[in-house]
Amino acid sequence: MTQALVVRPVGGPMNGVPAVPGSKSQTNRALLCAALAEGTSRLSGVLFADDTAAMLEAVMSLGCDVRIDRHNASLEVTGIGGALNFEELTIDCRSSGTTSRFLLPVLLAGKGKVVLDGSEQLRSRPFGEQMQALRSLGGTLNELGGSDELPIEIIASGLEGGKIKISAANSSQFVSGLMLAAPLFEGGLTVELTDTPVSRPYLDLTIEVMKKFGVVVEEDGDSVYRITEGQYSSTDMMIEPDASAASYFFAASAITQGNIRVKGLHRNSWQGDIQFVDVLEELGAQVTWGPDWIEVQGDRLSGGTFDLGNFSDTAQTLAAVAAFAESEVEIKGIGFIRAKETDRIRAIVTELMKCGVEAIEMSDGLIIKPNTWRLTGASIDTYDDHRMAMSMALLGLRVPRIEIRNSACVSKTFPDFFSVLEDLRPRAAPSTDVVGVAAIDGPAGSGKSTVARALAAELNLPHFDTGAMYRAVAVAAFRQELEFSDASAIAELAKTAEISIGEKIIVDGVDATDEIRSAEVSQLVSVVAANREVRRILVPLQRQWATELGGGVMEGRDIGTQVFPDAVFKVFLTADLPIRAERRFRETEGQTFEDVLKDLQRRDHVDSTRDDSPLEVAPGAVIFDTSNMAIEDVVGELAEMFRSRVEG
């Protein structure tokens, strides 16, 4: 187990063009076809990662000559022309499902004895359906460990083809492996699917790669594939960027309201996982399809129900995005991913719940009921699953203290993932015409005032307590004995009262510094803040206030959403309700803890449901749970985030 990695929130929109590596699926298919071909093939844009290294080592052990150019992401492969001969060979497939499931039928077409093995994780994955199909053709396979699992001894003497019926309801890799091996079988092979296959786009990808290497797959409807006996031919092939890997950056754009473009992918790409951007678009992101690129612009995220059966490798990515949505997200059609590197449905539900996300496990998917107020940092178990590590890291873009354990597991498909993600971190200093405001929002008792004052002092910036403005109006109303239900009278008072906000709060010439924190004012300030006309009067004053001083730390309940939606740094402070109540209870006199708790519940409801500028998490804001943290620790982390955001 390697050291854990803590993801630092970005504090702003992520923008840029990430360096997405080549497609693992396309690389391994092309590499195997090149190895079986006559002549020399040149593959460009290939992925160099653990999964492709497994395939590369395997084909070299079979006698292929391979020239590797990592700097230019290319391979020159001189194939063996289908002549597969081996003696007492053992092939380690590491944790690569494609390597093992593609090689198993290919090796049976050769001559000799070979053991196919892999990591403990790969040993736990099923092979029974593919083994049963191969045995029906006369193949000799001996399990040396568990039933239907690696390691498997293959005793090969060539294989006659014929017709195979296979479900493919658990893995498309079983079918892809049979199709890739089919030209080597005597008489070729016909594959008939008895069920609707999962991840059908991967079957289409297999067919396209085989076609590129000179082998034609005849399709009879959606369920029958015919491949004649024949020979792969060498070719030159450009590998597309990995669409599954690209999904993490598209998701990062959606989560942070950024703008990210991935080059090399387009509407006609071979990979089915490009459909993920259609899901993001349905959630509310803006998607632009270029001739050789796809761009995603983040926006507010709604909810919905999505069947990811054909692009299930993005299910965990979508689950991470759903944590920031405004309504429920259901992901269905992915029951088969329980047999991937781990039970991915159970794993993502477990880890999301650690972070305060309500997630419900279903037989074929999951339901996420987001509540951004509850998001909190956690130590994430990755289950040695690269997609768990990369998807859960996305939460850390907006939630502090997300720790990814065994982060090195991303080397399976994307060794440079974390450095590429870091390269998209927004660091540019604000331009001269942008006010450098740090917007601190959150519910009562979350620590806004204390944190904002301390943060302003730490950063040597002005501090603006916008909540004090509304409290001052409430004080003026109390003094004049106005009815708080009289919205017009309260609004008129907001216009005429003389209010000075500084080290002391002065209302109509009288010090109200202590008075604005009284229990009476605390109970009714939400009514004042919910008054549309009062807000119409005070919000321009708040903007003017910060603009005249060139920025600062501004706190309230709608700073990042209404007052300064373009603030360079937005934070939503939160804490568990009982902890917020305890904080308020220590600050008040004459009230029981139960009274304070009920009042906070009431205020949360009023603030979050009011018609005008309700309390909500600003899009892209860092969501900071202060429940179990000392003020100095909160301030220290926020100061670091702010400096990295505006100073570079």
Contact between residue 175 and residue 193 where contact means Cβ atoms under 8 Å apart: yes
DSSP β-bridge partners for residue 165: 192
Tokens coding 413: 């498909």
Calculated CA dihedral for residues 618, 619, 622, 624, nearest 10 degrees = 50
Tokens coding 532: 């549309």
> C-alpha angle with apex 327: 307 to 385, nearest 5 degrees?
50
- Of 42, 82, 77, 41, the residue nearest 60 (C-alpha): 77
| Spatial separation of the C-alpha atoms in residues 620 and 11, rounded to whole Å | 7
Amino acid identity, residue 105?
P
- Enzyme catalytic residues: 313
Tokens coding 77: 């492969």
SS3 182: helix
Tokens coding 104: 């198993």
φ/ψ region of 490 (left if φ > 0, alpha if ψ in -120 to 50, else beta) reads alpha
- Of 374, 393, 371, 372, the residue nearest 382 (C-alpha): 393
Contact between residue 287 and residue 335 where contact means Cβ atoms under 8 Å apart: no
| Spatial separation of the C-alpha atoms in residues 638 and 159, rounded to whole Å | 65
Tokens 């301030």, residue? 635
Tokens coding 189: 């092979």
Tokens coding 174: 């079983």
Contact between residue 22 and residue 47 where contact means Cβ atoms under 8 Å apart: yes
Calculated CA dihedral for residues 554, 556, 559, 562, nearest 10 degrees = -150
Contact between residue 46 and residue 56 where contact means Cβ atoms under 8 Å apart: no
| Spatial separation of the C-alpha atoms in residues 494 and 537, rounded to whole Å | 7
DSSP β-bridge partners for residue 238: 44
SS3 335: helix
Burial class of residue 636, CB neighbours in 10 A (0-12, 13-18, 19+) = middle
- Of 89, 97, 171, the residue nearest 133 (C-alpha): 171
Contact between residue 417 and residue 405 where contact means Cβ atoms under 8 Å apart: no
Contact between residue 284 and residue 301 where contact means Cβ atoms under 8 Å apart: yes
| Spatial separation of the C-alpha atoms in residues 645 and 13, rounded to whole Å | 10
SS3 332: strand
| Spatial separation of the C-alpha atoms in residues 622 and 18, rounded to whole Å | 22
